[in-house]
Amino acid sequence: AEQTIAVLRERSPLSMAVSLEVVTRAEGSMADVLRGDLDLTRSSFLHGDAVEGIRARIVDKDNAPRWRFARIEDVSAADVAKMFESPWPASEHPLLDLGN
């Protein structure tokens, strides 16, 4: 358990909180899920820690990411909810043609 906690403490606190929320939101049609996944992927690169993780592991290879939040306890529900916001109105979503 201690080893697992140590590994989790190295990961992005925001990404871990968002991952937990993804599981709780896992309902709806396949089209709804795919639209949400696109929204979340976009948010992860614009507002999340995806770019920093890539920098730390692949670009600089320093393995010293500077996450937006130091601890998962610092991530608020509002921070997590923001990651799920779509920049597109439902009628203009790029995956609108998937149907429901």
Structural domain includes residue 94: no
Q: Is residue 98 part of a domain?
A: no
Distance from C-alpha of 6 to C-alpha of 55, rounded to nearest angstrom: 21
SS3 100: coil
pTM of the prediction?
Answer: 0.86
Q: Domain count of the chain? A: 1
Instruction: Say what the pLDDT of residue 27 is.
Output: 86
Whether 11 is covered by a domain: the verdict is yes
C-alpha to C-alpha distance for 79 and 47, rounded to whole angstroms: 10
Domain around 64: 2-88
Residue 83 confidence (pLDDT) above 80: yes
Q: By the 8 A CB rule, do 53 and 64 touch?
A: no
Give 23-78 pLDDT, tens digit per residue.
Answer: 998 888 999 999 999 999 999 999 999 999 999 999 999 999 999 999 999 999 99
Query: Does the structure show a pLDDT above 80 at 100?
Result: no
Residue 13 lies in a domain: yes
